[in-house]
Structures are given as C-alpha cells and as structure tokens.
Structure 1
Amino acid sequence: MTSDGVTVSPAALAETLRAGERVRVLDVRNRDEAEQWPLGGGDVETTHLPYMQFVQAQAKDEISDLAADFDDDERVVVICGRGESSATVAGALRDHGVDAVNLEEGMRGWARVYHTQELDADTGGATVIQYQRPASGCLAYLVVSGDEAAVVDPLRLFADRYVEDARNRGAELRYAMDTHVHADHVSGVRDVAERSDAAVVVPEGATDRGLAFDAELVGDGDELRVGDVTLEAMHAPGHTTEMTVYRVGNLLVGGDLLFTESVARPDLERGDEGAEEMARQLHRTLSDRVLSLPDETVVAPGHYGDSAEPAEDDTYTATLGELKARLAALSMEEGEFVDYALSRMPPRPNNFEEIVETNLGRGSVDDEAAFELELGPNNCAATAD
C-alpha cells in the first residue's frame, strides 16, 4: 500500500485490496452510517470507533488505551466521510506509536475509484471491458469492435472515462445504453452522448415509466450493430418492467437481473404492493428465458456485492452453469422463489426515488448533487445466500 506515512490514496488502497492483501480499517463515522456503507472490496477487518467517542477518550487522556488495541507491526487505515475527522484520529494514533494513515477524502474519495478489467469470453471478436466501482458495486461495460464501441450502463460520474477509453482503443462510441431505469446511481447515457457521437439507447418500456428525453428505443429481439458484432436485445422483466439485457456471442450483459451471488430484488419500481407480482415475473424471466440459454453463457451482471468472488479473469462474471450450481433460487418453483425474493430485500438504495426521476429526465441535478445522491452501498440485489 503506497502512502506517505500520513495518508493513503483511495486508488492505492483499492490496489492493495485487489492484490488480496489484508487491510485493517478504523471507521470513525457514526455506527449507523458505518454499518450501512462499509469499506469493502477485499480482505478488510474493520473496527468502529465513532469520532465523538475518540474526542471523549482524548479529553480523558485515554488515547494510549485505544492505541493498545492495534498491533505494533500493522498498518491501520482510518476512514470517515470526507477524510477530516479521520485525519485527526490517525494523527493522534501515530503520536502513540500506531502506524495509522488517513484515507484521503474519506468515503467520498473511495466513491471515485473505478477499475477496468477485460473479460475472457467468446464475444464473436469484440473486446469487452468491465468497469468496477468498489464503493457501490456498480458494473458497466465497454464493447469494442473495430473502430466502433458501445457502453452499457454507464455512470454519470465517469462519462469522460468511457469516451477516452474507447478512443484509446481506436474506436468511437456509437451507443450509450441503459439496460433499465436505474434506482441506485445516476445514469451517464446522456452525458456520454454529449461528449461523443453516441446515440442514447434505452428499453422501449421506459416510455411507460415516464421517459422524458429523446432516445433510441429497443425491444425484444432488436439488434444493434457495433463494428463486426451484434448486440441482441432480450426483454427480461422482473427487477423492473422494462429491463432489457444484451447477448454478444456467448456473453449476456445482464443488468440487474441476475448476479454472481444472488438474484434481483423485485420492489424498486412498484413498491411493496407490486413486489409479489414482479417477483413472479422475475421467476418467469429466469426460468423461461435465461435458464434456457447454454450453460457456457457468461453472465456479466450490473452489480457485485461484498460476498462476490471474482472469476479467473478478475471480472465479476460467472457462467450460467456455475450459477445454476451456486444459487439455490435458480432451481426453485415459483411460490418458493417468490417467498425467497420477498424475504431477502435489503434497505432500498439511498435517494432512489429522486435518482429514478433524474434518470427518466423528469428531474435535473448538477454534477455535485448527482454524486451526493448515489453515495452509499449497492442494494439492488436480494440478499445473497
């Protein structure tokens, strides 16, 4: 872990975790906030010490007692929301002999970390890049074939990144695509289009949800050509009514339909009242459409959770055969599946209603407000087994 002995950058911390190294974290946020949005993404051992408790210990000259909780040879990364309170705590611990460093910009800095990893899948000749955001578990995809590219489920915060990455591979973006109306992050499709010649593509069912901007609409079976490959749209309702996933060779870019450790949650569009019917629809989609695909189909989901293990190529993907063997939900009859899905819904994503309105184009927020809206964990999946 690269640091100056006082601070560590979010990027350096992320690389340490990606390398499989253990990280000791001291989280000085309020306990509720720390529990709702922990720093994850690898082998992390976290101790909670709310900042006010530290202040009280400092006033009683008890910092040495706190320092005694850490081994002499271990580095401790101290975190808070913005990297301010944690800087004070890290400094005090260093004064008492602890190798403590402050996470620069705190969890706000962590939210800006974005990795790329190339998928090892038979896509018919396309290169597919998976973008990984460890702070929220959001995944996006860049499909490049020849001098054309498409980005699927882009985040607004990283709109420039997709355009730049495509051009670095000798391609221009032809499409900026959403698989559905997202509830956990602010979509970047329109921002990508403003920075390139990409056409905005959304599922045709988004119009029924109140889509308020011009876009190219796709329905079940429609095909989008990118260079020498075809992205075939498949309507896959259940998480939302308009959810549409894409097949590229034996790769299924699956949005928030099926994850490597769980299935989608069914309540974000229609609330608790409509969750049961959406869960039944999700079961039909999985049983009748997705599970009929070949077992060697590689599923590339829209999110990953802390319990997810990366594949051999370091992407959060799995073959359909692996998921059938791993996830009990995929072998359940409809009634059992519905009970399972409804009993495993985590808290709804922060600010999800305002995020949905923004992604439909019925609300408008500036870049800073958009960033604030989506801070927090990914809660688009049913709780993993």
Structure 2
Amino acid sequence: MTHHEIDDIIARTRTLIHDVVLPLDDEHDGDITAAGGDEVRVTLQAAARAAGVFAPHAPVELGGLGLNLVDRAPVFEEAGYSLFGPLALNIAAPDEGNVHLLDQVAVGSQRDRFLAPLARGQVRSAFAMTEPSPGAGSDPTALATTAVKVDSGWAVSGRKWFITGADGASFYITMARTSGETGDTSGATMFLMPADTEGISVTRHLASLDTSMIGGHCEVLFEDAFVPDEDVLGEVGQGFAGAQVRLGPARMTHVMRWLGAARRAHEVAVAHVAGREAFGARLADLGMVQQMIADNEIDLAATRALLLEACRVLDDGGRAAKETSIAKIFAGEALHRVADRSVQLCGGLGTTHELPVAKIAREIRPFRIYDGPSEVHRWALARRAVREATR
C-alpha cells in the first residue's frame, strides 16, 4: 500500500476509536466482561467493518487489508489507544497471532475450517501452550501435555493455564508432546482442536490484573481429547519450530497495541498538568514535572524505533530473534514507566476511574511477563552474544 493509503487507514482507525470505542472502554473502566463480552465484540467489529479498518493484518482474500508488519505498526498503535480497540479491529491477542500462524502454516481444509472464520471475526480462538509448574511456562521445553497416537489421530491429555481467550473460543491451537522427554527441544506438535471436542473443559478463570482481554485467562483440561490426523498443524514433532512463526510477530504486535495505550496515558497526563496550578505555577512549568514528561516522550519514541526495526527484519524474511527480544524487553519496561509516570503526574486522580491512566497502568504491567519475561529474553540475548563472540 502507498503511504497515503496507510495514512487514510490510520485516520479512519483514529476516528473509530475516539467516536465509538473509547466511550465504551471508559464507561466500563476497561473491563470487557462488564461491557458485554462477545455481544459488544460483534457490535464493535461491525463498526470497524463499516469504517473499512477491520482485520488490517488478515489476507485480502479473507476480508482483511493484508498489511505487512511495518505498515501494521501505526494502525495497531492507533487501535491500542483504547483497550477495546484491538478487539474492534479483530487484532487482539491471541486471535491476531493465530491468524498469522494459520496463514503461514495451515493447509487444505484447515484454512477453510479454522483460518477463514477467525480472520472474518465469526469466531474466537486460543493458543494452548502454558502449563502449571513443572510444565511449560517461560521454558516451553518443559511441555508436559502429551498426545498419544491412536487410530486415525491422536489423544491429547494434560492441563493448561493462562490460556487467554479460552472461555468462548471456538477452537484451540494446542501444543502437546508427541515424542521425547520433558526438557527436549524437539518432539512437540501443534493441534487444531474445536472447543467442543469431548475431553476438553475450561475449568476456571485465573483472576488477573488485566480485564480487557475477552475470554479471560483460563485453566483448560484435556482428557484423552481426540484430534484427527488432518488437524495436525504443521509437521508432527516440529511444534516448537512452528510456533516461532507466531511468537516473534506476536510480540511485536503486542508492543504496537500497548504503545497506543501508553501514549493515551501520557497525553491525558500532559493535559492534566498543563491545566492545573499548584505552588504558584502551572504543574507543567515545574522542573520535576517537565522531566517526567520528557522521559515519557523519550520512552515512547525509543519504543517505536526499536519496534519498527524488528518489523523491518521480519518483513524481509528474517527470524529477528535478537531484534524482537530487544524491542519486547525495552517496550515492556519503557511503556510501564510511561504509564506509571502518567499516574504520578495526575496525582490522586491518577489512581481513580476518573481518568484512564490507572487502568492503562494496570493493563500494561503484565506485559513484562507475557510473551516471555524480560529476564528470559535478556538471558537469550546474552547467550547469543557470547556464542557469536566465541564462534
């Protein structure tokens, strides 16, 4: 697309967010369940379709706009300005990452049965990887869920948790071990599993800081749940490698969305200090306040720059493991700083529902853990640097 076309999509997204989505978001303090859950999702997505900004990431043949990652970045940021904005555009996690994964890996009827309805917003999905200790978490090789070969398919057994969007999902992309032992870096397989498969049950929600992700963060039990051979996603035993198709881009789209939310918190805070007087001057004229404003501007700009660098490498076909780790670490910590400073700048009001900064700070905090804790990404970066130095 041309720059003019991208700018037009950004402008229409901004209008949709400000006119339709933000009022609902603020009325319910970012709680999607209180706002109406799937019922409001359908309404918001209809508004996004009418605005011509629905599914900017999805293939054109499935009703999307087909944008690459660099072109998605400013659109996703604009959508992320509201906590409900990504849901409206059908670019919320985990569905957005699952659309990308399925577009790259799904074959034959898998595309018609799973990818097409997800890209069109007809259903929701979940990515079932994380498990209670000692299972897969920050270390995916600890995968404990198993898939045993049976006649014409596989029987999946295990316990997952922190499965975002599980309640109400139409299907799961489930990671299970088909060979090897716990700790092996191979032997995992991805399976496409309809949620109504016998042996799959959502057992509970894990109440968490964030409330804007539809379907919650759930515990899901798999008890000899059958998957036919044709619903293996990718190659048997190559699930970890296949999941990398999803993980790098999904980390960057998380950054895009949270960048928009943090920018809103910052803009609200700057407007607040520009209009409030204390100690004989505008708050905005006080040196300590100005330093916080400037540091927010720096963190937002640096996050955007690192994000775009990683997106360029991904768009050029690179794995971008280093670039996405750097951008993810920096964004998780920098955007948290932006939101936290914004609360501080707004004083007592910053801790209330009167302003949106408190809910944004609440929602952003888990990002330093989701999609790999900062510490794990730092460990990977350091190992890579040492390996290159000693090669």
Query: Aligning the two structures, in what range does the TM-score lie when normalised by the shorter sequence?
Result: under 0.3
**Normalising to structure 2: TM-score of the pair?**
0.28
**Normalising to structure 1: TM-score of the pair?**
0.28
Structure with more of its chain in helix, by fraction: 2
Structure with more of its chain in strand, by fraction: 1
